Amino acid sequence: MADVDITISGPLFDGRAAREFAAYADDAREQISEFAEEHVLNLNGQDFRHPSGYYESNVMTERASADVSRVHDSGVVYGPWLEGVGTRNRARPGFPGYFHWRRTKALVALRAPEMAQRLLQQYLPRVR
């Protein structure tokens, strides 16, 4: 019987690949949430008839957990009314809302895969 020595090396086995893919996931999440925050703020700037700056100053991105980032309005009390989902929107049919969050969510769902794919191309050479 002969002894066989097998040497395993490379990024998959020494931890480099795992670190790079974790960094990729963080970077993708950050870029996508930044895009969402910028988009909702741009819509606010375009659509709001009487902006005070207060609402916009409360829009922020927050890391909710290790793998989730949230873009939100910090719970501004009139935020649902601006979006068009508040109880006052139903009672007062004159203002339907701006739908800035729904429009942003739809655009992010459309663009996020492309953004993540483009970023992945930057990380793949690091794990070869």
In a domain, 116, yes or no: yes
In a domain, 5, yes or no: no
List, in order, residues 6 or more apart from 40 with CB less than 8 Å away.
Answer: 59, 71, 100, 101, 104
Query: What is the percent of the chain with per-residue pLDDT over 70, rounded to a whole number?
Result: 98
| Phi, psi values for residue 5, rounded to 5° | -100, 130
Structural domain that includes position 50 = 12-127
Quote the number of domains for the chain: 1
In a domain, 2, yes or no: no
In a domain, 94, yes or no: yes
Residue 33 has pLDDT above 90, yes or no: yes
Q: Which two tokens stand for residue 19?
A: 């670190």
Q: Indicate the helix (H) or strand (E) that contains 90.
A: helix 87-91
Identify the pLDDT of residue 94: 72
The pLDDT of 37-56, averaged and rounded, is 95
Confidence of residue 92 (pLDDT cuts 50, 70, 90): low
In a domain, 41, yes or no: yes
Identify the pLDDT of residue 72: 97
In a domain, 78, yes or no: yes
In a domain, 4, yes or no: no
What's the distance, CA 72 to chain centroid?
A: 11
In a domain, 6, yes or no: no
